């Protein structure tokens, strides 16, 4: 089940606390667990990730596309 959580920390602080190997910041406002990614889609200039519990894809910012592709290839 998809759940939104409101936190008073920056995503950078959360990544450091949770462990940066399991989590990816794909957008200014999106942090995802790598274990739940089932699909990486590219349609034109738009890049999206689909997670196992959500049919909607999450956008990947243009600035983070290279980092996300590199992390998923590991």
Quick one: average pLDDT of 59-74?
91
pLDDT, position 63 = 94
Quickly state the pLDDT bin for 15 (edges 50, 70, 90). confident
Task: Quote the percentage of the chain above a pLDDT of 90.
Answer: 31
Q: What is the pLDDT of residues 38-53, one digit of tens each?
A: 999 988 889 999 998 8
Alpha-carbon span 66 to 1, nearest angstrom: 28
pLDDT, position 64 = 94
pTM equals 0.77
Closest CA to 64 of 16, 14, 11, 19: 11
Alpha-carbon span 59 to 19, nearest angstrom: 22
């Amino acid at each position: 089940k998809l759940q939104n959580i409101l936190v008073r920390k920056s995503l950078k602080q959360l990544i450091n606390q949770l462990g940066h190997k399991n989590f990816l910041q794909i957008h200014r406002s999106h942090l995802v667990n790598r274990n739940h990614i089932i699909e990486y889609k590219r349609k034109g200039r738009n890049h999206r990730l689909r997670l196992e519990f959500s049919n909607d894809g999450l956008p990947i910012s243009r600035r983070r596309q290279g980092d996300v592709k590199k992390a998923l290839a590991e």
